[in-house]
Amino acid sequence: MADRQSPTPGEITIMAAGAVMIIFSFLHFAADRSAWGSHLFPIATLLPIYGLVMALQIALTRFASLNLPASVLGFTWEQVHLALGAMAALMAFGWLVTDYGDKQIGMWFEILGGFALVVGAVLLQRERNTGAIG
């Protein structure tokens, strides 16, 4: 039996992306505003929130042995991760192609984190053999 405390590559990807996204959300996102600043809240803020939710769910169940329900509103946690990761990647792509002022360091890390979340969610699906992704 595998060590329950060892995170999988998908879990590591999600936790790392979530942590990076939260940290860099407080740096300049566009112009001199953070993702939490005026005119960007809540649209730019959703990216780090998705990352935080995904990372916290993984960290709390993996390291704090928190027993969450197997499903949320009929969806498995892997499906929730895939949906949030896909939304984060779509939003990241949107910010990548938008012409909203100067793209600052915070925005670049939010964009990278958004793509990393969907990669981590796909890895998680495959690691846990949920059958959702071949």
Residue 2 falls within a domain, yes or no?
A: no
Q: What is the CA radius of gyration of the chain?
A: 15
Provide the whole-model pTM: 0.91
Segments of the chain with pLDDT less than 70: 1-4, 131-134
Domain count of the chain?
Answer: 1
Residue 104 falls within a domain, yes or no?
A: yes
d(CA 73, CA 28): 36
Residue 49 falls within a domain, yes or no?
A: yes
pLDDT tens, position by position, 74-98: 999 999 999 999 999 999 999 999 8
Residue 134 falls within a domain, yes or no?
A: no
Residue 74 falls within a domain, yes or no?
A: yes
Pick from 24, 18, 25: which is nearest to 42 by CA?
25
**CB 16, CB 52: distance < 8 Å:** no
Residue 4 falls within a domain, yes or no?
A: no
pLDDT at 75: 93
Residue 132 falls within a domain, yes or no?
A: no
Residue 129 CB partners (closer than 8 Å, separation 6+): none
pLDDT at 1: 39
- Residue 85, domain extent: 9-127
Residue 1 falls within a domain, yes or no?
A: no
